[in-house]
Amino acid sequence: MDVTAGPRHRGPEDCRGVSTILARIGDKWSMLVVMLLGDGPRRFNEIKRMVGGISQRMLTLTLRGLERDGLVTRTVFPTIPPRVDYELTDLGRSLWQPVEALGNWAFAHLPEIEAARTKFDGKD
Amino acid sequence: MDVTAGPRHRGPEDCRGVSTILARIGDKWSMLVVMLLGDGPRRFNEIKRMVGGISQRMLTLTLRGLERDGLVTRTVFPTIPPRVDYELTDLGRSLWQPVEALGNWAFAHLPEIEAARTKFDGKD
DNA sequence: CTGTATCCTCGTTGATACTG
DNA sequence: CAGTATCAACGAGGATACAG
């Protein structure tokens, strides 16, 4: 599908299909992890540090979810201490593009949004 | 900011800034509403029907949130019965682009992801 | 280091009923 | 039609302890 094409109408069924994916990547941490892994493979604790604020449990669950969806691969090195690398699959890298675009949008418009919030909260 | 540029490293601080926005548009309904409004202004119940499955309460909350962030405008026509139009702002339209790209990605790769899920759940 | 297993809390959501 | 108010339920997420 050509994602560069203009708007195309879709029905509610498609909306819900999209919703399924959105629920996955739209959760609290998945997009951040995907953005992070865009630079290459990372180890568990490396990701944990880079994301910042995520609990061990949630990182595990997030990575499992991404792995389940075929977005990242999990590679275990049977060393002592153990080492596990996570890396974007081809599918993951294809997701990385729109995710990064969204991230860049968020980063670029953060001030605008915060201003809008302040204005909205202030009036009345 | 040029969102078409290649990867650029950002620190955890930026990640959390992005997280703020993601929490907003990454909730259960906001992205679907934004995608919908890309075609032009819609009335409250019109949106409700098109999204499908959203409760009145959640649609209200979602639209309020988007309005607060300066992404949509709310226009009340003092008629009987009342009529309220919601429309994307310029900021909203600028968000619409990456959101639509993500939506198209989701739509395009839905089969792949479902296959990956089945495979992941099946093994072991 | 990289997880798994519990427990517990808090926020989000949905259902329902009511109002201008 | 377009909300608001209230309540109940559920689940995501954090803290902690433990294991390989």
Q: What is the pLDDT of residue B50?
A: 92
When CB atoms are compared, the residue of A7, A26, A51 closest to B12 is: A51
Q: In what order do the strands lie in the sheet with B83-88?
A: B42-43, B83-88, B72-77
Give just the sign of the alpha carbon dihedral B102, A29, B34, A104. Answer: negative
Interface test with A, best of B4, B66, B68, B105 (most A CBs within 10 A): B105
In this complex, the answer to whether residue A68 has its CB under 7 A from any atom of chain C, a nucleic strand, is no
Query: What confidence score (pLDDT) does residue A1 get?
Result: 46
* A98–B21 C-beta distance less than 8 A: no
Task: Determine contact, residues A19/B36, Cβ cutoff 8 Å.
Answer: no
- What class does CATH assign to A7-121? mainly alpha
**Considering only CA atoms, which of B70, B96, B39 is closest in space to residue A10?**
B39
Q: Picking from A46-55, A85-94, B2-11, B38-47, which range would have the lowest pLDDT averaged per residue? A: B2-11
Give the best-scoring range by mean pLDDT among A109-123, B8-22, B48-62: B48-62
Q: Which B residues 74-103 have CB within 7 Å of strand D?
A: 74, 81-84
Contact B8, A103 (CB under 8 A): no
User: Helix, strand or coil for residue A1?
Assistant: coil
- pLDDT given for residue B8 in this prediction: 52
pTM: 0.88
Q: Which nucleotide is nearest to A48 (CA to C1')?
A: C2
